[in-house]
Amino acid sequence: MPAIAGVRLATAAAGIRYKGRTDVLLAVMDKGTTAAGVFTKSKCPSAPVEWCRAVLKNGKAQALVVNSGNANAFTGKTGKTSTKLTGDIASKAVGCKPNEIFLASTGVIGEPLDATKFNGVLATLAESAGPDGWMDAARAIMTTDTFPKVATATVKLGKAKVTINGMAKGAGMIAPDMATMLSFIFTDAPISAPALQALLKAGVEDSFNAVTIDGDTSTSDTLLMFATGAAAAQGAPKITKASDIRLKPFVKALNVILNDLAEQVARDGEGARKLVEVVVEGATTKASARKIAMSIANSPLVKTAIAGEDANWGRVVMAVGKAGEPANRDKLSISFNGIRVAKLGARDPSYDETEVSNAMKNPKVQIKVTLGLGKGRDRVLTCDLTKEYVAINGDYRS
């Protein structure tokens, strides 16, 4: 992960929930950094989500504070007090206004967050923050994740090179709605806050919003993007509109990073052994295809069949039928990893169970459903559902 001009990182172990591991990330950004964000649509959002929504109106950022182990969600007035105290501590440590501080928390829901643990820690981190340490930062925000999730790209903006770095955390309680888990994107490109917001909102739809692990939208889903503008010194043009044609390579790279991180989240689904891609084509509209694909991806019966390496198309048919979208049983065709198992509403005449069973042993499984009704197409990512998922979530609070 390369350095991003105008971004400095540091991590620490503050003992938020677990001992002996880093659980706080501070990202310090140069003055003038613009910010964008999308958040959960949950009607029970966490205190940090509400904080970020409020400060995002300012469109500027100088620091991001992330803690793992405690989500500071469903914590009532105490949660709001904690975010205010954290914002105050961070603003003093960095030397900016509280409304230029962004906060994110992940972990257990319903437990009060002791923000006094940030006292001293954030000031030390602000002094020690440096341009490297991206992998350490990604590790500090992990909960049940089994590996840190990062992605990077370098592209031309005008005649200058700009860099985009991203990190994400998430393995369970994943069914995003406008954002996902916790994810943070940084760039040195000089892009205004309104333009950055438009790019992020568009990019999330077919990346993070097309991922589901267990069908549960988190109270804390947060995706933030920061643009320091430091590349302007190297000749990068200042962008004020998302429609600026000079942004085309940047947008392409941003979408690659968003999709890369989203796929890493799907691969790391709690207890998962297989990445599952669900493709629905021939639907009446793209929106209809998305709903059907999500119905398949969120079906425990489909996901357990994948875990058992069983190409059980009957469960796929069930998920298509319950989606409530236009479908015609007698036009339906289904394939697993490119092998068609059902055609026009019945088992494919050339079906070979041995061939299909061997294909199901692959670490990635594609389920393709062809509806034969129109040109609507979409795809979503998920994973299989294993005994380990139950074990992880049964033991999580203990």
**Beta-strand runs (E) in 258-372:** 275-283, 333-336, 339-343, 346-347, 364-370
Q: How far apart are CA 50 and CA 104, in angstroms?
A: 10
Integer Cα distance of 51 and 313 in angstroms: 45
- Taking alpha carbons only, the member of 126, 135, 79 closest to residue 105 is 79
Nearest to 149 by CA among 157, 158, 139: 139
Closest CA to 68 of 24, 19, 26: 24
Say if residue 375 is exposed, middle or buried (CB neighbours under 10 Å; 0-12, 13-18, 19+).
Answer: exposed
Q: Residue 108: enclosing H or E segment and its boundaries?
A: strand 101-108
* Ramachandran sector of residue 143 (left: φ over 0; alpha: ψ -120 to 50; beta: rest): alpha
Q: b or e along 40-79 (b: 16 or more beta carbons within 10 Å of the residue's beta carbon)?
A: bebeebbbbbebbeebbeebbbbbbbbbbbbbbbebeeeb
**The dihedral formed by the CA atoms of 13, 182, 269 and 261, expressed in degrees to the nearest 10:** -110
Catalytic residue of the set 40, 86, 180, 217: 180
CA-CA distance, 264 to 266, in Å (whole number)? 5
Token code pair at residue 153: 């790209």
Q: Is 143 annotated as a binding residue?
A: yes
| Residue 147 token pair | 């590996």
| Residue 180: active-site member | yes
Structure-token pair, residue 252: 């392409």
Q: Is residue 180 part of an annotated ligand binding site?
A: yes
Nearest-CA neighbor of 370 among 352, 351, 344, 337?
344
- The answer on whether 169 is annotated among ligand-binding residues is yes
Contacts of residues 252-256 at CB distance under 8 Å and 24 or more positions apart, as own/partner, are: 252/155, 253/153, 253/154, 253/155, 253/164, 254/153, 254/164, 254/185, 254/199, 254/203, 255/203, 255/206, 255/207, 256/151, 256/153
- Residue pair 13/23 in contact by the 8 Å Cβ criterion: yes
Residue ranges of the annotated binding site for substrate are 143, 169, 180, 270, 393, 398
What residue numbers does the annotated binding site cover? 143, 169, 180, 270, 393, 398
The residues annotated with a catalytic role in the active site are 180
